[in-house]
Amino acid sequence: MISNKKIEQKIDSLLNELTLDEKFKLMVGFFRFQTNTIKRLGIKTFKMTDGPLGIAQHSSMLRKNTRFAAGISLAASWNRELAYECGEAIAREARSINRLCVLGPGINIGRTPFCGRTYEYFSEDPYLTKEMSIPYVKGMQSQRVAACPKHYVANNQETNRLVVNANIDERTLHEIYLRAFKETVEEADPWTIMTSYNQVNGEYVHGSAKLLKSTLFEKWDFNGFVMTDWWATEHRDVDKGEPEQPTTTQAIKAGLSLEMPVPILYEEDILREEFGKGNFTEEDIDELIRRLLRIYYKVGMFEEEDNLPKGERNTKRHQNLARRMAEESIVLLKNENNILPINIEKTKKIAVLGPNLNKKLYSFLMGGAAAVNPPYEITPLKGLREKCKGKIKLTSDPATADYVLLFMGLNHESPAKLMGSKIKEMKEEYGNESENYDRIQLGLSETQINLIKKTVKINPQTIVILFNANPVAMEWLEDIPAVLEVWYPGMEGGKAIANVLFGDINPSGKIPWTFPKKIEDSPAHKSTRTFPGENLQVYYDEGIYVGYRYFEKEGIEPLFPFGYGLSYTSFELRDAKCDKDVLKSLGDSLHVMVKIKNTGRCEGSEVVQVYAQTHNSSVDRPIKELVGFQKVRLKPDEIKEIKVLIKAKDLAFYDIKTKNWKVDEGKITLHIGTSSDIIVFKSEITFKS
């Protein structure tokens, strides 16, 4: 890739040659997922594809794309290297079909367990979110394919998503909802950013100079370009109380380079008229086009194909990665009397039941625009048949089986595929997780709950396997000896599940969410004011107390705490210490060093987690916040010493007086453990500026 200095020189030359009308043409999409061309200057179309779970069918119009595990699955792996591999692989698939930008990762924060699009996102926690996002973006752009973190910002619900106004105080906005975007921009340099549909504090983001020009460009030094979400600029019905769109000039002055998929605000006649009135200058337009052209050069649009990375699609390498992602993300939530793993040599018959036993979850619009249609899909039934062939009989009769496997969970069907009575049936039978649709209850359907209760009475050796992205209530948990959370595990999911059930793979996932016992325990669900909102206004009254921060502050016992997950083996943490005990600036850092031993009988992985508790702060702070983690794999009796990097900037809060990040001088306690609730060591450090 040519140097940044050379790129800017070439852009200067192109800007001098482009006419004003040609510049206007570059600012809008040319139907669906591409931009306009300027053939006389060799500017080709910039082709995009939806993500972030693979190459989406509706944007590529192609089948046979690798369907990787969901974003929530990737976060549950707590594996940065896996996130890099995922971004890299999806970029190779994009290159194979001449797409130069993938619309992902999705890095909105999990504010409510009802959000239909959580499966695309990472976590309730901004630190874990950015630690997944940064390597994902780096991996993708290593193949010279532009990543596009989305949806900037506060797209935390699907209900009224096109018009709802998220009312968020300044500190909360920066600490919780903007933080992953900020860190991803500063550490991974994403080449594009997509704005959200919703308003934030009374402004659509695509017209907000505060959120784009002041924050994204000036404070964070973002060098790429900003695009809208698809049809985000459509005219609103003001007579019905819907908020009015920004003006064309407001969007230009804010810093919106590309309107997708067709011109509305940037319709050519409107641009000419506004320009003629002197509402914006050609210099304003040049800055927007410069940002576009900068990325066109970075992805190689002006280079020969032979000089660019080669793509590949649905290869064995990608299929294996899809399986590994699914395996590492599976969380063992309960394992009473070590009922798992199942001994394949000592088991004769297993009953397999449930709505997700043989259901294919990945086809056109399954889950919404991000849906990938893979060349094949290994359902749980298919995975079990392959694993048990010639050894264990699979049956539907719990009474005669050694074990029962119940494949339960939520529906992943897009309402766009259903009509009338089928939508009603879907709402009643399932909680649904899909774009355009938020869930209506925390628990499973009544039908599924009844099946669980009925089955475990017949056979107490019943294991529940859950397919979902958001937390689910489990009023049946005490009656069930084992529960596996498998999320949406992708096209290799059935094989991964079978490998975990029979012990070929030791589960190592940790939940990236706090699982509440009931929806009223969730901080976003105190009234209709806080979710789904009233009169198109939703109020983030919980402030910074999202997820485990709220549960710990209020002393509410969750069903499962943030960062929790069991293993088939056991681990012991020893001798935790810090390599220094004083931090002196926001640019400073230290390492927490801890020895960990596998004290069990099989190989496995553990995630050492570090949380910070600030004392004597000038502002209200959570009891503790995640500031570091490291995943480590160990053989039986093996001991390793690991180092967990702790950056001073991750200990900071956003100071609304100075508009900067700050750590108060004084003592900080580092809590070292294996979940937010299981703390083994505490270590004191000091911040002294």
Verify whether residue 229 is a known catalytic residue: yes
At a CB cut-off of 8 Å and minimum separation 6, what does 296 contact? 43, 46, 302
Single residue among 511, 536, 562 that ends a domain in this structure: 511
522 in a structural domain: no
- Return the amino acid letter for 351: A
Q: Is the separation of the CB atoms in 100 and 48 below 8 Å?
A: yes
319 CB-side CA count, 13 A: 11
pLDDT computed for residue 238 by the predictor: 83
> Taking all residues of the chain, what is their mean pLDDT, rounded to a whole number?
95
Residue 500 has pLDDT above 70, yes or no: yes
Predicted confidence (pLDDT) at residue 392 exceeds the cutoff of 90: yes
Considering only the C-alpha atoms of the chain, give the largest distance between any 2 of them, rounded to a whole number of Å: 82
Task: Assess whether pLDDT exceeds 90 at residue 430.
Answer: no
DSSP state letter for 217:
I
pLDDT at 182: 99
**CA 500, 71, 166 angle in degrees (round to 5)?**
140
Q: Decide if 560 is inside a domain.
A: no
369 in the same domain as 292? no
Residue 352's H or E segment, with its range, is strand 349-353
Mark which of 511, 546, 562 sits at the end of a domain: 511
Q: Express each pLDDT in 667-677 by its tens digit.
A: 999 999 999 99
Q: Kindly state whether residues 293 and 371 are assigned to the same domain.
A: no
| 42 CB neighbour count, 10 Å cutoff | 10
pLDDT tens-digit series, residues 209-263: 999 999 999 999 999 999 999 999 998 888 888 999 999 999 999 999 999 999 9
pLDDT at 475: 97
Which pair of tokens denotes residue 605?
A: 């992985």
Q: Is a pLDDT exceeding 70 seen at residue 418?
A: no
In three-state secondary structure terms, 662 is: strand
Mean pLDDT on 455-482:
98
Same domain, 366 and 246: no
**Burial of 238 by CB count in 10 Å (0-12 exposed, 13-18 middle, 19+ buried)?**
exposed
Among 304, 326, 353, give the residue marking a domain's end.
Answer: 304
Residue pLDDT, tens place only, 328-377: 999 999 999 999 999 999 999 999 999 999 988 876 667 788 889 899 99
**What is each CA distance from 3 to 152, 291, 298, in whole angstroms?**
29, 15, 9
CATH number for the domain including 454? 3.40.50.1700
CATH number of the domain bearing residue 58: 3.20.20.300
Q: Is 108 left (phi over 0), alpha (psi -120 to 50) or beta?
A: beta
Tens of pLDDT, residue by residue over 257-274, are 999 999 999 999 999 999
Main-chain phi, psi angles of 351, to 5 degrees: -90, 135
Residues 235 and 201 sit within 8 Å (Cβ to Cβ): no
Shared domain check, 343 and 253? no
What per-residue confidence (pLDDT) applies to 168? 99
- Which residue, chain included where needed, has tokens 């096209």? 491
Per annotation, catalytic residue among 50, 125, 229, 650? 229
Q: Are residues 277 and 376 in the same domain?
A: no
Question: What's the mean pLDDT in 482-493?
Answer: 97
Distance between CA atoms of 561 and 360, rounded to whole angstroms?
30
Q: Are residues 498 and 580 in the same domain?
A: no
Does residue 525 sit within a domain?
A: no
Measured CA to CA, the distance from residue 68 to residue 651 in angstroms comes to 33
- The residue length of the chain stands at 689
pLDDT tens profile 610-650: 999 999 999 999 999 999 999 999 999 999 999 999 999 99
User: In this predicted model, what pLDDT tens digit does every residue of 131-178 receive, in sequence order?
Assistant: 999 999 999 999 999 999 999 999 999 999 999 999 999 999 999 999
Average pLDDT over residues 32-46: 96
User: So what's the pLDDT on residue 429?
Assistant: 45
- Both structure tokens of 33: 């997922």
Are residue 458 and residue 604 in the same domain, yes or no?
Answer: no
Contact call for residues 642 and 652 (beta carbons, < 8 A): no
In a domain, 536, yes or no: no
Residues 272, 361, single domain; the answer is no
- What end-to-end distance do the CA atoms of the chain give, in Å? 41
Which range marks the domain in which residue 591 is found? 571-687
Query: Dihedral of the CA atoms 444, 450, 451, 455 (nearest 10)?
Result: 130
Q: What angle do CA 607, 328, 184 make, to 5 degrees?
A: 70
Nearest-angstrom CA–CA distance, 383 and 395: 15
- Confidence tier at 208 by pLDDT (50, 70, 90): very high
Examine the domain organization and report whether 320 and 299 are in the same domain.
no
**Residue 403 backbone dihedrals phi, psi, to 5 degrees:** -140, 160
- Domains held by the chain: number: 3
Q: Are 260 and 339 in a shared domain? A: no
Q: Same domain, yes or no, for 253 and 349?
A: no
Among 203, 215, 202, 259, smallest CA distance to 234 is for 259
Domain-located, residue 557: no
CATH classification of the domain holding 600 = 2.60.40.10
| SS3 of residue 554 by DSSP | helix
CA pair distance 407, 403, nearest whole angstrom: 13
Structure tokens at 472: 């689910």
- Report if residue 224 sits inside a domain: yes
Strand order in the sheet with 462-467: 331-335, 482-485, 462-467, 403-409, 349-353, 393-395
pLDDT tens digits, 97-115: 999 999 999 999 999 999 9
33: pLDDT strictly greater than 50: yes
424 shares its domain with 503 = yes
Q: How confident is the model at residue 428 (pLDDT cuts 50, 70, 90)?
A: very low
Rounded to two decimals, the pTM is 0.96
- What is the C-alpha separation between 104 and 467, in angstroms, rounded? 22
